[in-house]
Amino acid sequence: MGVPCVRVPRERGEAARRRLAERDAVADGYEIGVEDGFLYVPLAPDADLAAIGERYEVVDREPAARATQTLPGDLLGVEPSYERLGDVAIVDEDDPERAAELAEAIVASDLPIDTVLNRASPVEGPHRVREWDVLAGQDTETVHREYGCAFAVDVAEVYFSPRLATDRRRVVGQVADGECVFDMFAGVGPFVVPAAERGADCVGVDLNGAAVEYLRRNAERNGVADRVTAIHGDVRDVTGYDNWADRIVMNLPHTAADFLDTAVRLAGDDCVVHYYDIQPDDDPYTAGERAIRAAAEPAYATAVQARRTVRSYAPHESNVRLDVRLTR
């Protein structure tokens, strides 16, 4: 099967490669090809082909596998499962011996990974943070790149999931220049920062002081601090933004329904709410839609604009997103 590659005249190749690399869109495992005056840059499996296709020509090719790079699977003889967050690798391994083997292979591979962490608890508590076993290295803080934004994050102190990148991209892709965006559970800013990059005026709130500190730093790091207000506290106590928001992000699955009265208070006359939930696979949206209507009507008319499965959460349960427009 072919690999999507950006085809670009050779003289513009390095600039294109650098731009794609900044967005983590270049595939690790393939060589960049040169043929007939064109450079072929292979794209990563999770690259946003639609967005890239707007700027570059994308063609299918069979690029040569990168011979020089040794991956953890080459050392283990099987393809292991792990996530990457900057220079941290995250594994989910119950057997301590297998976990140690996996960590050793990851560190010995050519991947630029310094720290390997194993999940030691579920995401828990009001700050939605988990415990970690440090299998290699020691630094739980890293800088993770997502679609061109850089996020400093310490996974021992704050919530962050690289798995949600694609969904975040879909939400942020809807943000228009000049919008007022309110993220009620902002974490380190993975919605707020790219929304501000698209020209929105953003407010991000979080109960976790460490997350708010990272949010401020990340807004600065990405050059959007002038469009970001970061507030530490319970979002229910935030004042000064009633009837303000054109768009509200509610990424606190399990308990978002408890915050819908606050969302309605923050909503402007015409506002889209991105509501995340965890529900049974056989009926993932009814509960959320009912809760939103109960909180918003009759002051607002409600219209569901999108129902999306974000990812499987547990056997028979999914993490889903509802986009609902509230019109006063």
Ligand X SMILES: C[S@@+](CC[C@H](N)C(=O)[O-])C[C@H]1O[C@@H](n2cnc3c(N)ncnc32)[C@H](O)[C@@H]1O
Residue 128 interacts with ligand X (CB under 6 A): yes or no:
yes
Question: Phi and psi at residue 162, in whole multiples of 5°?
Answer: -65, -20
Name the segment binding ligand X (CB under 6 A); options: 41-49, 96-104, 121-129, 303-311.
Answer: 121-129
Q: Are strands 317-327 and 301-314 parallel, antiparallel or unpaired?
A: antiparallel
Per residue, the 3-state secondary structure of 100-127, as one string, reads: HHHHHHHHHCCCCCCEEEEECCCCECCC
User: How many residues of this chain bind ligand X (CB under 6 A)?
Assistant: 20
- Alpha-carbon distances of 192 from 155, 186, 269, 311, rounded to whole Å: 18, 7, 21, 21
Residue 307 interacts with ligand X (CB under 6 A): yes or no:
no
Residue 160 interacts with ligand X (CB under 6 A): yes or no:
yes
Q: Report the distance separating Cα 68 and Cα 221, nearest Å.
A: 33
Q: Which residue in 113, 172, 205, 266 binds ligand X (CB under 6 A)?
A: 205
Residue 127 interacts with ligand X (CB under 6 A): yes or no:
yes
Residue 40 interacts with ligand X (CB under 6 A): yes or no:
no
Minimum CB separation of residue 98 from ligand X in Å reads 28
Tokens, residue 141: 């803080």
Q: Report the distance separating Cα 156 and Cα 120, nearest Å.
A: 11
Site string for ligand X, 55-94 (x = CB under 6 A): ----------------------------------------
Give the bridge partners for 204, in sequence order. Answer: 183, 230
Residue 35 interacts with ligand X (CB under 6 A): yes or no:
no
Q: Report the distance separating Cα 245 and Cα 186, nearest Å.
A: 15
Residue 208 interacts with ligand X (CB under 6 A): yes or no:
yes
Q: Report the distance separating Cα 91 and Cα 119, nearest Å.
A: 7
Q: Report the distance separating Cα 4 and Cα 46, nearest Å.
A: 11
Minimum CB separation of residue 122 from ligand X in Å reads 12
Residue 207 interacts with ligand X (CB under 6 A): yes or no:
yes
Residue 214 interacts with ligand X (CB under 6 A): yes or no:
no
Site string for ligand X, 222-261 (x = CB under 6 A): ------------xx---------------xx---------
Asked if the bond preceding 298 is cis, omega within 30° of 0, the reply is yes
Question: Which spans of this chain sit near ligand X (rule: CB under 6 A)?
Answer: 126-128, 159-160, 164, 185-187, 190-191, 205-208, 211, 234-235, 251-252
